[in-house]
Amino acid sequence: MNAQDMRVKSEAELRQQLTGLLHEQFNMRMQKGSGQMVTPHDLRRVRRDIARVRTVLNEKSREGKAA
């Protein structure tokens, strides 16, 4: 997902998305450990999406404190 798309979402929606991504990352790590991972590049995509969501959440919290 694009960071621009994330910036228009509310903080609650971003936290919900972050939780889903963390669960997805956990499941992928378990698949990788058991040798069942079909698409290893998805793990990298999920990690980067988690970082994007956390960055946008950080930006939103800084905007709230500055105002």
pLDDT in tens, 36-49: 988 989 999 999 99
pLDDT at 27 over 70: yes
Structure pTM? Answer: 0.89
pLDDT in tens, 2-25: 889 999 999 999 999 999 999 999
pLDDT at 34 over 80: yes
pLDDT at 1 over 80: no
66/14: higher pLDDT: 14
Alpha helices in 1-67 (DSSP H): 3-7, 11-34, 41-66
Q: To which residue do tokens 């970082």 refer?
A: 51
| Distances 58 to 2, 4, 30, 51 between C-alpha atoms, Å | 16, 14, 29, 10
Domains along the chain with CATH numbers: 3-66 (1.10.287.310)
